[in-house]
Amino acid sequence: MYIIETKNLSYSYDGEHQALENVSISIKKGKTTAVLGGNGAGKSTLFLNLNGVLTPDRGKVFFDGKEVEYNKKGITEMRKRVGIVFQDPNDQLFSSSVKKDISFGAINLGLGVEEVRERVEKAVVQTGIGEYVDKPTHALSFGQKKRVAIAGVLAMEPDVIILDEPTAGLDSKGASEILNLLTKIKEETGVSVILATHEMDIVPVYCDDVFIMDHGKVVLGGNVREVISKPGILREHSLRLPRMAHLMEILSQRDKLNVDRTAATISEARASILSLMDG
């Protein structure tokens, strides 16, 4: 079941150059989907079209099988159901305290005081930020601000969370913590997650499906193994294989070992190599 589908979606900022051109993607409900591509690929423009911040020039967007109407009512509904977490949390957080920031989106949904309070408390627990919920946002670390930004979106209880480069600006420990947090939230709430990333190694560990974008077009899509099985297309569009899949490619091509070239995590590679040894 798809939570979001686009059909031939196109958008131009200036009426001449296509930021998106005939983009057709399908986002599975309750899954994590990665959108990969370099700067200018169209990822952020796509996200803003999915959230209703931008209105497509052509094409259609479907949410839960129903076509989105880009009128006031339709856009308002879309923004309720699709939340965006920006790459830099400083672009998203502007209130004087953490609690006020988390409350902002829920308040703007027109909810009552008690429901806002309950949603904020729930989001605080989900993101593990209870120890600094009463602090001023400017006193937080970059990673803590990321969690607060996620909490603010969760308080709106969306069906889809879009994250633009969620690991940007974080060290390896902080990046793992954020990605594990997103996985936990997805499993607990059933929310669908869409993320843009340039970190290829996180894709096979945390994602179910992948779309590759370049110059406003989708050039490849499928589940992780399907996409990894096409390294030529990845490299053609300035992307690399995850390191473990690259190792398996080397073992296959150079060492002539009959390993699984789509194995892209440590556990998958280990299983493939052990199977070869047992055989």
Summarised one tens digit per residue, pLDDT across range 107-164 is 988 889 999 999 999 999 999 999 998 899 989 999 999 999 999 999 999 999 999 9
Task: Count up the domains in the chain and report the number.
Answer: 3
pTM of the complete model:
0.93
What average pLDDT does the segment 2-13 reach? Answer: 97
**The pLDDT of residue 279:** 62
Q: What is the pLDDT of residue 107?
A: 92
- Together in a domain, 215 and 269: no
Whole-angstrom Cα distance, residue 248 to residue 266? 11
Token pair listed for 74: 């339709």
43 pLDDT more than 90: yes
- pLDDT tens figures, 177-221: 999 999 999 999 999 999 999 889 999 999 999 999 999 999 999
Q: Is 236 part of any domain?
A: no
- In a shared domain, residues 71 and 184: yes
Output the average pLDDT for the chain.
94
Per-range mean pLDDT, top range of 13-17, 27-31, 88-92, 169-173: 27-31
Q: Give residue 278's pLDDT.
A: 79
Q: Would residue 200 count as lying in a domain?
A: yes
Same-domain check for residues 181 and 276: no
Q: Mark whether 121 and 145 lie in a shared domain.
A: yes
Q: What is the model's pLDDT at position 94? A: 84
Note whether 57 and 106 are same-domain residues. no
Give whole-number Cα distances, 29 to 76, 179, 204, in Å.
21, 18, 18
Percent of the chain with pLDDT over 90: 86
The answer as to whether 221 is a domain residue is yes
**Contact 193/33 with Cβ under 8 angstroms?**
yes
Cβ contact 181:173 at 8 Å: no
Segment 249-262 shows an average pLDDT of 94
What is the pLDDT, as a whole number, of residue 178? Answer: 95
Give the per-residue pLDDT at 270: 94
With respect to residue 231, please indicate whether it lies within any of the assigned structural domains. no
Tokens of 32: 């994590």
Task: Please check whether residue 185 lies inside any domain of the structure.
Answer: yes
- The answer to whether residues 88 and 110 belong to one domain is no
Full residue range of the structural domain in which residue 250 is found: 241-279
Residues 9 and 49 in one domain: yes
Q: Using CA atoms, how far apart are residues 187 and 52, in angstroms rounded to an integer?
A: 26
